[in-house]
Amino acid sequence: MNLSSAKSTFVVKYMNLMGRAGVVRVLLHLSGHEYTNEFVALDSVKDNRTLYPFGHVPVLIETLPDGSTFELGETLAIEQYLAEKFGLLGTTPQEAALRRSVALNIYLELYAPCFSSTTPIQQVIADPTSEFMTKTLPQFIATHERWLNKNGNNGYYFGDKLSYPDLMLLNWIRVLEGMGVKFEEQSPLKKLEKTVKGLDAWKGQYDAYHPFSKIEP
């Protein structure tokens, strides 16, 4: 893995849970960079929206080696910035575009049905006749199994090393399994999960970075 860069330090402003900052924190953790969590209460954000770039969290604040600071809002923008900084988007504009496209497809296909529906997602998953279980999820699995098989089903989307979409898929596998989805153990999606879980860069903290985890102070 190419997870090295200049020694910036980072602050992640978000609530005391992984949530929408989950992949952001995973990127920072696996990179070996120093970062701190600044926990903010949701009510505090609502009462002080002008303190945040777009009136909500997460927000990333980077202190660069020269002492200057860089503030960035919006989850996907933060993730892609860190992925590029840590070498997880390839080395050419075309490679970066492909990796972004896969990661964004994962997010866009799953976020709305899981978190924007008026019906709780646990209830949707528990209903085997729901559109999510009969159409959305099977189509998603088939699409991403095809992408993973195209790379030889080696546990990565591209080549033989970690990239941004690997972490996006891992996050959503853990989210869906936590809500009751059962993936076939022989699926290439599970192969990716096992491969990324086995990376030494977790430093024994894999379970602490589960999407449903709260953060230790």
Give residue 36's region: left, alpha or beta (phi > 0; psi -120 to 50): beta
Strand, helix or coil at 159? coil
Start-to-end C-alpha separation, the chain? 29
Residue keyed to tokens 């050419």: 92
- Residue 93 CB neighbour total at 10 angstroms: 9
The answer to whether residues 132 and 176 touch, using CB atoms and an 8 Å cutoff, is no
pLDDT at 123 over 70: yes
Decide if pLDDT at 144 tops 50: yes
Which domains does the chain possess? 9-86 (3.40.30.10), 93-201 (1.20.1050.10)
Helices (H) and strands (E) in the chain, counts: 9, 4
9-14 and 59-63 as β-strands: parallel, antiparallel, unpaired?
antiparallel
- Range in 4-8, 34-38, 148-152, 180-184 with the lowest mean pLDDT: 4-8
* Residue in 150, 143, 148 with CA at minimum distance from that of residue 196: 148
Q: What is the pLDDT of residues 131-142, one digit of tens each?
A: 999 999 999 999
Task: Name the pTM for this structure.
Answer: 0.93
